[in-house]
Amino acid sequence: MKNNNIQKKVRTRIAPSPTGDPHIGTLYQSIFDYAFAKQNNGDFILRIEDTDRDRFVKGAEENIINAFKWAGIVPDESPSQGGKYSPYRQSERLYIYKKYINELISRKSAYYCFCSKERLAKIREIQIKNKVQPKYDKYCLNLKKDEIDKNLEDNKPYVVRLNVPNDTDIIFDDLIRGRIIINTKSIDDQILLKTDGYPTYHAAVVIDDHLMEITHIIRGEEWISSTPKHILIYKAFGWDIPYFAHLSLLRNRDKSKVSKRHNNTSIDWYREEGYLPEALINYLILLGWSSPDGKEIISMDEFVRKFSFSRVTKGGPIFDIDKLNWINGVYIRQLSLLNLKKLIIPYLKYKDIKSSYLDSILKLTQERLKKLSEINDLISFFIEDIDIPKDLIYGIFSINDVKKIIKNIILIIDKYGINEESEQIMREYALNNNYKIGDFFMIIRLAITGRKASPPLLDTMYVLGDKKVKERLSRLINT
RNA sequence: GGCCUCGUCGUCUAGUGGUCUAGGACAUCAGGUUUUCAUCCUGGAAAUCGCGGGUUCGAAUCCCGCCGAGGUCACCA
């Protein structure tokens, strides 16, 4: 394959369609586009592919841009920032496509097609019945010039199709998969311009990628089979063919392409759940690539430095939320108290906690968090009143023992306060009365926190303060 | 169905002819960190390298065939 891109500035792009929520698969692809571009001091471009007016969703573009901003993947050029190759929205580039598609027609690489949908459906039906691959039969390729002119004059609806040569091997060297050969026998005369005047993806993507000087097309595996169409278009124009790299697709548990039915595919969901963007990106990196030193906790900066296509994974990884949770926990634990607090406040349902009180609580909670959204559940007993689980408590000791113990604890706190000394005295008390230490402290924990698991008891009591602690303890024995 | 891609522990992966009785991580199990949970530490179980042939003194690694999974075959991207 002839290629002059080697000396050009590296430029990659991500080209999402504004058809719904910002998709996790889009982010996955973009980290590779971004890393490769940055590694080579190149540019990473965000282009919006909104040529399908039926599936267009209002506000989707803004959501995509915000999701990328959250993830920290900042494009060098995009519809919102602009750039040298504006506009970056395909719907605003219609005049460009028209011009180039007309050029293709004049070069005889493309042709007008006036076939009705009914006729198309019919030949399709026959082909399927005869078990041959459904393909357009090139009927309109042989239209006479005056016929075409008349149809155009009559405003007869038309599309423009790519004239795909018959039985030709299209060869390209994928940066991840090596040489791929696809014969044009399996390729239809792709529509380039739709009746509504919009180009199809295939036309727009090639024209834009060329005009925007994209050198490396890094995208999902689902595009492999249409790559020959794109190559044919590049060749028809006489343009340099960019490098292609096809990433494997993220999978559901059942191995199908990752989808809403089985997974949370919206980037927004991960933000709402309280995944840190750095953790999500780290996880996505791991799914598609392996570090030469085997390191699994890796930042985007490090990825940019170490990335190479040869270490990109070929198999389609199953999205495993358990591992993401682990990574997220690692990142949360690495946060400074100040940063944790800053990040967690949007997730807090308790809005009027004293700052210093929140600090004390967070110190006890940080290493127990896997997701920021877990915070409310984890700290509720510090803030709200609790239900004392009497059944659990009296399942451990008898009512009489419990009353005796609690009374003593209150006495100890009255006398010594909450500190290591008083804890030691509690322990001795338990020992002297032959209470199992674990059980002994468990009933205190249950009485004070309302739950079987909590941060270390002494610390918890200390943060809660002796007034609240005593109030909860007495509530248990007074009812 | 045609074409294309892929196939190592449950999951993500390392591995590019001998150092592989296949290494790491998550999850899981057991123990420890003189009270729970979490963190941390230690250890265990877990992959006949999809299957069958070949090449070779020697194959997860090379070749052939098969099987399985996925993708794609739209006036969607």
Residue nearest to nucleotide B12 (CA to C1'): A287
Domain boundaries in chain A? 5-77+202-247, 94-193, 385-477
Of the options 3.40.50.620, 2.30.31.10, 3.40.50.720, 3.40.50.10490, the CATH number for the domain spanning A5-77+202-247: 3.40.50.620
Geometric angle at alpha carbon A423, from A417 and A424, rounded to 5°? 125
| A212 and A43 Cβ atoms separated by less than 8 Å | no
A224 DSSP assignment: G
Q: What pLDDT, on a 0 to 100 scale, did the predictor assign at position A479?
A: 67
Rounded, the Å distance between the CA of A181 and C1' of B49 is 28
Residue nearest to nucleotide B24 (CA to C1'): A294
Distance CA A14, CA A79 (A): 12
Residues of A with a catalytic annotation lie at 260
Distance CA A145, CA A139 (A): 14
| A429 and A412 Cβ atoms separated by less than 8 Å | yes
- Tens-place pLDDT, residues A448-463: 999 999 999 999 999 9
Q: Does domain A94-193 have CATH number 3.90.800.10?
A: yes
- Tens-place pLDDT, residues A179-196: 999 999 999 999 999 999
Q: Which nucleotide is nearest, taking the CA of residue A128 and each C1'?
A: B1
Among A4-18, A349-363, A381-395, which is the least confidently predicted range? A4-18
Q: What pLDDT, on a 0 to 100 scale, did the predictor assign at position A5?
A: 46
Rounded, the Å distance between the CA of A220 and C1' of B62 is 29
Q: Which nucleotide is nearest, taking the CA of residue A132 and each C1'?
A: B2
- Using left for φ > 0, alpha for ψ between -120 and 50, and beta otherwise, residue A197 falls in left
Residue type (1 letter), A240: D
Q: What percent of chain A has pLDDT over 70?
A: 99
Rounded, the Å distance between the CA of A398 and C1' of B8 is 56
Q: Which nucleotide is nearest, taking the CA of residue A187 and each C1'?
A: B73
Give the bases of strand B that a protein CB approaches within 7 Å: 1-8, 10-16, 23-27, 34-40, 69-77
Which pTM was predicted? 0.94
The count of other CB atoms within 10 Å of the CB of residue A189 is 20
Residue A6 has pLDDT above 70, yes or no: no
Q: Which nucleotide is nearest, taking the CA of residue A292 and each C1'?
A: B14
Q: What pLDDT, on a 0 to 100 scale, did the predictor assign at position A131?
A: 80
Residue type (1 letter), A302: E
Q: What's chain A's average pLDDT?
A: 94
Q: What pLDDT, on a 0 to 100 scale, did the predictor assign at position A2?
A: 44
Residue A1 has pLDDT above 80, yes or no: no
Give me A472's structure tokens.
């909860």
The count of other CB atoms within 10 Å of the CB of residue A180 is 16
Quick one: average pLDDT of A149-166? 96
Quickly state the pLDDT bin for A471 (edges 50, 70, 90).
very high
**Residue A326: C-alpha distances to residues A277, A279, A313, A329 (Å):** 14, 9, 21, 5
Q: What pLDDT, on a 0 to 100 scale, did the predictor assign at position A257?
A: 84
Residue A3 has pLDDT above 60, yes or no: no
Distance CA A219, CA A13 (A): 9
Query: Which of A392, A385, A335 lies closest to A365 in space, CA to CA?
Result: A335
Angle formed by the axes of helices A277-288 and A60-71, to 10°?
90
Rounded, the Å distance between the CA of A249 and C1' of B7 is 15
- Tens-place pLDDT, residues A65-100: 999 999 999 999 999 999 999 999 999 999 999 999
**CATH, range A385-477:** 1.10.10.350
| A193 and A199 Cβ atoms separated by less than 8 Å | yes
Quickly state the pLDDT bin for A404 (edges 50, 70, 90).
very high
Distance CA A337, CA A444 (A): 28
Number of H helices, E strands in chain A: 20, 9
Buried b / exposed e across A280-300, counting CB within 10 Å, b at 16+?
Answer: bbbbbbbbbbebeeeeeebeb
- Tens-place pLDDT, residues A196-245: 999 999 999 999 999 999 999 999 999 999 999 999 999 999 999 999 99
Distance CA A426, CA A438 (A): 12
Give pairs for A86-94: CB < 8 Å, separation 24+: A88/A45, A88/A46, A88/A47, A88/A48, A89/A47, A89/A48, A89/A50, A89/A61, A90/A47, A90/A48, A90/A49, A90/A50, A90/A51, A90/A199, A90/A204, A90/A208, A91/A50, A91/A51, A91/A198, A93/A204, A93/A208, A94/A197, A94/A198, A94/A199
Residue type (1 letter), A384: E
| Kind and range of the H or E run holding A13 | strand A11-14
Rounded, the Å distance between the CA of A221 and C1' of B52 is 30
